[in-house]
Amino acid sequence: MRPILEVHKYSMDYLTDEGRVQALREVSLSIAKGETHALVGESGSGKSTLAWSIMRYLAPNAEETGGAILVSGEDMIGKSAAQIRKMRGNRIAMVFQDPSTSLNPTMRMGEQLVEVLMRHRGLNRKAAWAEGKAGLARTGIAKPAEMMLRFPHEASGGEKQRVGIATAFACDPELIIFDEPTTALDILTANQILDLFVTLRNETGVAALYISHDLGLVSRIAHTVSVIHRGRIVEQGTVDQVFRAPAHDYTRGLMAAVPKPLERIAVPGPTTTTSLIQLEGVTVRYGDPGWLTRMLNPQAIGHTGAESVTLDVRPGELLGIVGESGSGKSTIAKVASGLNAFTGTIHFDGRAFTSRDALDHAYRRDVQIVFQHPDSSLNPRQTIGTILSRPLKLYGIVPADQVQARVRELLEMVLLPADFATRYPHQLSGGQKQRVAIARAFAAEPKLVICDEVTAALDVSVQAAVARLLVDLQARSGAACLFITHDLNLIRQLAHRIAVMQRGRLVDLFDVADADGPGRHPYTRALLDAVPVLESPAP
């Protein structure tokens, strides 16, 4: 039987100010009916470009340089715009990464779903509405009729993504392209969406191209996989073949970089149980209404970022804080680094602080923070040298005449060439920028480094390197670390103890060794069970 999607030696270039950039090079793949083909690659590898090429939605500066894209044997490249419009949504559909931006915020979700049905299946409004309701019910939404009448902002991320999926399946397409449909969702929701995907796929027998950077996830849902690197497919085969015995070096590197919870890379644990920093009953409230608002609307209330959180970090320890987005884990990071007002007490090194303003220069020197986004955590108008020398001068770490030498040392410490000191942040890659941010934190010779999702914005292979670097620096400096993340596999490799937060509260705090033990909070259990773990390839 003829495959649904065939891509034959397809090549494409982007014409940019800097000249021609090869986006895709002789890409070939085919997907049969009922098959899920995963396309795995890091950012910039061309995986989304391929998805858009199949949908025939090219950037204005794209130039196709050869190859063919066939859907059920029909050549897509030669089709007119009108023919393409007839196919999109009808025979090929797409599910996007971020459900909060892929739905029109000014239209009821039902209308967006019905629109597709009316256009492609020629149903009248009433029939389309009934059909849409049935489609939504298939995606496991409890009250589809009600959901149809809601606007996107009245639904949760998971519900929105279900609507997106229902829209994609609405016209029984032959092919659906999934562009990282779970990346923007919380682990637990993402898991439900994946289950839904598998159910619907088995019901409808649709061919699916599943784009992802998450190897663990792919191994769970796909039949076949292509690994794409710099616009070329470096390896292709069934999931079993590729993941059990990766043939290409790049695939092997990628597999090795995926965090595996049982391969510890942590520094030796702390020997004492005394604490370096202790948060006691820390509560953070946001947006408390002013007196005028309270007068006009007595019901107006603020929002709690963290509710009486008590936890401690021991000297030299790495404490992980995990939780979904909005669970308050970043709030804790901001409190500890003196960026957020709080009530409660912070005990640090024998001293107690009860408000943000009480946190003094000495405290700020001893507690440093590294942020999530390397692109925005370095001032774009300062050179790397200026950025790194600032903490040295501010805290008087070294005499003025040795600052330059120390900056070079710091760069070498994070494995960057010393001549980076004269560069500007935009000349560096994401991973390099994050190394600079880490060097800046360690430049102050702190006792505690707070890492707020430092690996979340990086590619898998870079992530692993940054994590290793952090552990290495921790071992050398003896600093403790508060590591905030949503990546449970990674934190199980790094941390000595893990704190779990949910809706602003600390629900669980345990030794890493006890992760699988009894006595875990049900929420912790659910989180741990939800993460896909990639098995190590056979040696």
Partner 1 sequence: MRRILRSPTGLIGSILLAIVTVAALLGPWIAPYDPQAFDVTARLQGPSLTHLLGTDQYGRDLMSRILNGAPTTILFGVFATALGVGVGSVIGVIAGVAGGRTDGIIMRILDGMLAMPELLFTLLIVTFLGGGSTQAMLAVAVTFAPGMARIARSSVLSVRTREYVLAATARGESRAWIVGREVLPNALGPIIVESTIRVSFAIMIGATLGFLGLGAQPPSTEWGLMVAEARQFMFRNPWCVIAPGAVIAITAMGFNLFGDALRDAFDPKRSR
- Residues lying near partner 1 in the complex (CB under 8 A) are found at 16-17, 61, 337-339, 360-361, 364-365, 367-369, 371-373, 376-382, 390-391, 394, 437, 440, 444
Number of residues written out for the chain: 539
What is the spatial distance between Cα 141 and Cα 193, in angstroms, rounded to a whole number? 11
CB 27 within 8 A of CB 229: no
Helical H segments across 375-508, by residue range: 384-394, 403-413, 430-443, 460-477, 488-494
CB of 289 to partner 1, least distance (A): 15
Angle at the Cα of 490 from the Cα atoms of 387 and 533, rounded to 5 degrees = 150
Tokens 């994609």, residue?
A: 168
- Residue 106 CB, shortest distance to partner 1, in Å, is 24
Strand order in the sheet with 367-370: 367-370, 448-452, 480-485, 318-322, 497-502, 505-511
CB contact at 8 A, 95 and 168: yes
Q: How far is the CB of 395 from partner 1 (least distance, A)?
A: 8
**Interatomic CA distance for residues 274 and 271, integer angstroms:** 9
> For partner 1, which is the closer residue by CB, 194 or 306?
306
**Smallest gap, in angstroms, from Cβ of residue 157 to partner 1?**
23
Q: Which is nearer to partner 1, 176 or 450 (CB)?
A: 450
CA separation for the pair 364, 444 (Å, rounded): 9
For the chain, the C-alpha Rg in angstroms (whole number) is 26
Minimum separation from the CB atom of position 245 to partner 1 (A): 40
Q: Which is nearer to partner 1, 202 or 379 (CB)?
A: 379
263 vs 360 by CB, closer to partner 1 = 360
Shortest distance in whole angstroms from residue 335 CB to partner 1: 11
- Shortest distance, CB of residue 441 to partner 1, whole angstroms? 9
- Cβ closest to partner 1, residue 225 vs residue 414: 414
480-485/5-16 β-pairing? unpaired
Q: How many contiguous H segments (helices) and E segments (strands) does the chain have? A: 20, 20
Instruction: Please say which residue, 39 or 407, places its beta carbon nearer to partner 1.
Output: 407
Closer residue to partner 1 in complex, CB, 266/336: 336
